[in-house]
Amino acid sequence: MAKSGALVRRCNSFEHGASSDLLLNCLLNGRTFCVPTKNTDSMVLEEPEAGAPSPNAAVKPANETRKSSANTVPTQSMIYIDGQFFPESEAKISVFDHGLLYGDGIFEGIRFYNGRVFRLDEHLDRLWDSARSICLEIPMSKEEMTEALFETIRKNGLRDGYIRQVVTRGVGNLGLNPAQCKRPSIIIIAAVIALYPEEAYRNGLTIVTCATRRMSAAALNPAVKSLNYLNNVMARIEANLAGADEALMLNDHGNVAECTADNVFIIKKGHIFTPPITAGALRGITRAVAFDVALELGFTIREVDITRHDVFTADECFLTGTAAEVIPVIKADGRLIGTGKPGPITGRIIARFRELTRGTGTPIYS
């Protein structure tokens, strides 16, 4: 299989507003030029007003369940905290943990399918990178972490599900100085999630651009998967208020960064585009799988600055994320994308992605 990003070309933004031309120029000429400029196509919907969910919403809100045919699930899930297992009702951490007081910590969400953890090494690497970036020392090795993850899944009798891995700064005092916190805490939760119902994968999602901008890397780099997700939560609230399934977040230049918990891809004339990491996108692990799959299927995929105009005029659009997997988008800010139905290339990527999730990964029970 092709290595992620092997054929990916980075094209800088040249003229904002003329973004379809931008994509096509990039595509046809393969040239990288121009100074990134501020985007004039940055008009966003007004902050939506609270009210009943709009009929535009394609799917019901996220759903979490512990039931799955492949799983033999205990009545209360067992949560790992610092080397010990506690039933859910007794799984507690200190109110002085800076993870709670300041959002000072990091996390990962990992999927396992059919008794195997999907892209485990990539998730561990990203967790360790997040830790390094915020000067947090994870008090165990990657091998020990792997064993703790597996043990948590086994204790919960799961074969298909989602693991939330949290590393907090640990217990300190009320001051924010992390030097007060002597030992980070590790929490692992295994659950079964179905973020969107199966119809959403067949019918597609609706998204709205939110007024909340993706935070700048100069403030807190979105590449750090930190416990401070208020930026995304604010955007999510806007999507809820607008009755949409997801919120499209722009960066300070008015270019597309990502959605609240997913990376964004568009397809135009058979070519696939996604914003670069520098636009404020998380280096998504499902994003990297989409790169692999697209290349394997013979499509070119390019990291370019994308505007709302590009999204509105795309033939297809899809999102990627560990929880959402690969899911089509059929409407953005009230405009139908392409035919208003999930597109054929997206369908092929979803199909191949599903094969990979069922057939690859690190075995949990061997």
Contacting residues toward ligand PLP, per CB under 6 A: 109, 232, 258, 261-263, 282, 284-287, 320-322
211, 336 contact by CB (below 8 A) = no
Residue closer to ligand PLP (CB basis): 14 or 291: 291
Residue closer to ligand PLP (CB basis): 42 or 263: 263
Separation between Cα atoms, residue 69 and residue 67, nearest integer Å: 7
Give the distance, in angstroms, between the CA of residue 28 and the centroid of all CA atoms in the same chain: 30
Q: How far is the CB of 255 from ligand PLP (least distance, A)?
A: 15
Q: How far is the CB of 173 from ligand PLP (least distance, A)?
A: 30
Selection from 316, 305, 249, 318 nearest residue 277 by Cα: 305
Q: How far is the CB of 124 from ligand PLP (least distance, A)?
A: 12
First and final C-alpha spacing in the chain: 25
Residue closer to ligand PLP (CB basis): 181 or 238: 238
Residue closer to ligand PLP (CB basis): 20 or 221: 221
256 Cβ neighbours under 8 A, 6+ residues apart: 248, 249, 250, 264, 275, 279, 305, 306, 307, 308, 310, 311
Residue closer to ligand PLP (CB basis): 11 or 195: 195
Q: How far is the CB of 6 from ligand PLP (least distance, A)?
A: 19
Selection from 120, 102, 103 nearest residue 111 by Cα: 120
**Would you tell me how many other CB atoms lie within 10 Å of the CB of residue 43?**
11
278 Cβ neighbours under 8 A, 6+ residues apart: 217
Virtual torsion, Cα 306, 312, 318, 319, nearest 10 deg: 60
Report residue 23 as tokens: 């994509």
Catalytic residue among 92, 155, 182, 225: 225
Q: How far is the CB of 290 from ligand PLP (least distance, A)?
A: 9
Residue closer to ligand PLP (CB basis): 166 or 261: 261
324, 262 contact by CB (below 8 A) = yes
Q: How far is the CB of 197 from ligand PLP (least distance, A)?
A: 19
275, 281 contact by CB (below 8 A) = yes
Instruction: Name beta bridge partners: 40.
Output: none
285, 128 contact by CB (below 8 A) = no
331 catalytic per annotation = no
Active-site amino acid positions: 225
